[in-house]
Amino acid sequence: MTEKTPPGPIESIAGSPLPGQTGTDRGRRARLWMGLLWGEWLAHARMMLIFLALWLLAMWVLPRFTHPLWALAFGGFFAVITGPVFGGSDVMGGCEEYAFSQPITRRQRFDSRLLFATGWLGLFTVLNLLVLYPNLADLILSFFVSTGVATVDVRRPELLYGTVFAVPLAALAIGFTVASLATTRAVAYTAWVWAALGSLTGLRAGLSLEDFLWDRLNGRITIPLLLFTAAITLGIARRLYSEKEAGRASSPLRLPLSGWATLVAAAIGALGAGLLLSWFVTSYFRSF
C-alpha cells in the first residue's frame, strides 16, 4: 500500500473550498495570506533592513546637524522609493507573465503587497512619533519659531500630525499605482517621480486653499485631500490591476522610442516636483 503524500502549498491553495463551504475555509484563507505576506518579506527583506538601518542612522545623525523634526520626513522618503518597488516588482523583474499564471488571484496579490507596504509605512511613522514623543510639543513649537511658519497656529498643530502620514501615504499610493499598472520597465522604474510630483501637488493645493480661505494652515483641506487622493488612486488601481494582462516587461531592458518618451516625461515630472518643493520651502520657511 503506497503512502499518500500531502499536497504542496500550490495544490492546497488551488484546492481550497469555495466560500460558504464548511471545514477549514478560514484556516486555509489565513494560511494563504500568511504565505503571501511572508513571500513579500522574502522578496524585500534586504531593502527593509536597509531602510531600518537608515532610520536608525537618521535618528542619531539628523538631530546633531538640523532640527530633530526633520526626521519625520523619513516617511516621505520611504514612500517615494518603496511604493514603486512594492507595486511593480513583477514588471521590474520581468516575471509578470509567470506571476499571473499562479493560482493566486490578481486582487489577492495586489492587496497583500499594498498591506505589506502600508504596514511598513505605518511602522516607521509610529517609530518616529515614539522617539520624538517625550519632547514633541516643545519640538513643534521650536520648529515653527525657527523656520518662520507664521501662518500655522502653534496652539493647534494638527497640520503637522496629519501630514506626517497623509503625505507619505499619498506618495506611496501614486507610486504603487503607476508601477503596478505599468507594462514596461521604463514606466515602473520612473514611478517614483510621479509619486513625488503627485503628493507635492496635493500638498500645495491643500495649503493654498487653506491660506486663501482662512489665512492660516489648519489641515482641514490638506489632510482630507491627500487621504482622498490615496484612497481613490488605490481603488481605481485595484480594479484595473484585476483585469491587467502581462505586458512587455518580460523582454530585455531596452530603450525604444516609447522608452525615451517615458524618460523625458519623467524628467519633466522630476522638474515639476523640484519646483513644487522649492515653492513650499520659500513660501513657508524663512531659513533652515
Instruction: Provide the Cα torsion 121, 126, 129, 134; round to 10°.
Output: -160
| pLDDT for position 100 | 85
Contact 37, 112 (CB under 8 A): yes
Residue spans of the domains in the chain: they are 27-249+256-284
Tens digit of each residue's pLDDT, the chain (288 residues): 444 444 444 444 444 444 444 446 778 888 889 999 999 999 999 999 999 998 888 887 777 776 666 677 888 899 999 999 999 988 888 888 888 888 888 999 999 999 999 999 999 988 888 877 766 666 665 655 555 554 665 566 656 677 788 989 999 999 999 999 988 888 888 888 889 888 888 888 887 888 788 877 777 888 899 999 999 999 999 999 998 887 554 444 454 545 555 555 666 666 666 666 665 555 555 444
Contact 123, 129 (CB under 8 A): no
- pTM for the model stands at 0.77
Rg of the chain on CA atoms, in Å: 22
| pLDDT for position 250 | 42
Contact 225, 166 (CB under 8 A): no
Q: Name beta bridge partners: 152.
A: 217
